[in-house]
């Protein structure tokens, strides 16, 4: 029993480290936004979904909801603290006023949902079990929404035939998200009875991550072959031109 708790603690710390690493991966992108004063190429829907997802899972890890998931609380609190400035930067530098209203409206709706969820979990829902079920439903919905936004990126890869044309696809991020989900899957397995939602959502995340990595590998190789072929044709064209001018 003591060994299991130690292992869960180690996994929780690893999960928090990966969480921080994943969220700061976007720092260069947002530095570029600040430098160029433009959000071109950045998908606000992804960051809106991530912020809501972070909030729901941070709420899930609260002591009055799930007393033995403090590391879930800290990991997603880190994400929430980093995602909020990202969204503010997007709002400040989006060039289209209609899009700013759309992002701002979605952000406002998220804040209302967050406020209602906190109020319901703390005051309106009477029992601990009921509070936990309410938060679990929110966690499932937010996780599925995040995966759906990522699926749009996958669709763009299939449509364009290239991983380089899709901003939200990055090998480090895909690998990190897969390892992150794997870490929390094992963490939840060690306490299955109290963490079935954490287990199921992260197991889904592992499968989804492996699929995206495989897709990335296939289209990355395809892009590399296409680039090599284009380079070979360009070289041949130069050589032909050179022969013609001799």
Which pLDDT belongs to residue 105? 92
- Which pTM does this prediction carry? 0.81
| pLDDT cut 90: percent of the chain above it | 29
Say which residue, 152 or 41, is predicted with more confidence.
152
Report residue 239: phi and psi, to 5°.
-65, -40
Chain segment 168-216, per-residue pLDDT in tens: 567 788 888 999 999 999 998 887 566 788 999 999 999 999 998 888 8
Q: Within 10 Å of residue 145's Cβ, how many Cβ atoms? A: 17
Which pLDDT belongs to residue 158? 73
- Read off the pLDDT of each residue in 131-141 and give the average, rounded to a whole number: 88
- Read off the pLDDT of each residue in 74-78 and give the average, rounded to a whole number: 93
Q: What is the dihedral of CA 57, 58, 64, 65, to 10 degrees?
A: 0
Distance CA 185, CA 179 (A): 10
Q: Is the pLDDT of residue 235 over 50?
A: no
- Read off the pLDDT of each residue in 151-165 and give the average, rounded to a whole number: 71
Report helix, strand or coil for 61.
Answer: coil
Alpha helices in the chain (DSSP H): 2-24, 27-36, 44-60, 70-93, 97-119, 128-160, 171-189, 196-244
Mean of per-residue pLDDT scores for the chain: 81
Chain segment 23-60, per-residue pLDDT in tens: 888 888 888 889 888 887 788 888 899 999 999 999 99
Distance CA 237, CA 85 (A): 49
Report helix, strand or coil for 122.
Answer: helix
Q: Is the pLDDT of residue 233 over 70?
A: no
Which pLDDT belongs to residue 168? 59
- The pLDDT-based confidence of 164 (bands split at 50, 70, 90) is low
Q: Is the pLDDT of residue 237 over 50?
A: no
Distance CA 113, CA 115 (A): 5
Q: Is the pLDDT of residue 220 over 70?
A: yes
Chain segment 93-108, per-residue pLDDT in tens: 888 888 889 988 998 9
Residue matched to tokens 């480090």: 172
Q: Which of 2-16, 75-89, 117-131, 204-218 comes out lowest in average pLDDT?
A: 117-131
| pLDDT cut 70: percent of the chain above it | 84
Distance CA 222, CA 244 (A): 33
């Amino acid at each position: 029993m003591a060994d299991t708790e130690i292992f869960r603690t180690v996994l929780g710390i690893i999960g928090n480290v990966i969480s921080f690493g994943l969220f700061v991966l976007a720092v260069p992108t947002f530095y570029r936004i600040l430098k160029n004063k433009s959000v071109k190429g950045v998908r606000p829907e992804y960051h809106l979904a991530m912020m809501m997802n972070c909030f729901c899972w941070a709420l899930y890890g609260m002591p009055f909801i799930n007393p033995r998931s403090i590391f879930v609380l800290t990991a997603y609190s880190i994400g929430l603290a980093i995602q909020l400035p990202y969204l503010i930067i997007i709002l400040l530098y989006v060039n289209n006023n209609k899009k700013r209203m759309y992002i701002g409206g979605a952000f406002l709706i998220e804040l209302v949902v967050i406020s209602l969820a906190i109020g319901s979990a703390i005051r309106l829902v009477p029992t601990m079990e009921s509070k936990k079920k309410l938060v679990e439903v929110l966690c499932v919905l937010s996780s599925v929404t995040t995966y759906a936004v990522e699926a749009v990126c996958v669709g763009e890869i299939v449509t364009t035939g290239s991983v380089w044309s899709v901003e939200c696809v990055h090998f480090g991020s895909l690998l990190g998200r897969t390892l992150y989900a794997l870490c929390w899957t094992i963490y939840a397995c060690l306490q299955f009875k109290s963490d079935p939602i954490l287990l199921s959502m992260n197991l889904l995340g592992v499968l989804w991550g492996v699929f995206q990595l495989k897709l990335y590998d296939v289209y990355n190789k395809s892009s590399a072959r296409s680039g090599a072929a284009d380079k070979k044709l360009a070289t041949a064209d130069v050589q032909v031109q050179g022969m013609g001018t001799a």
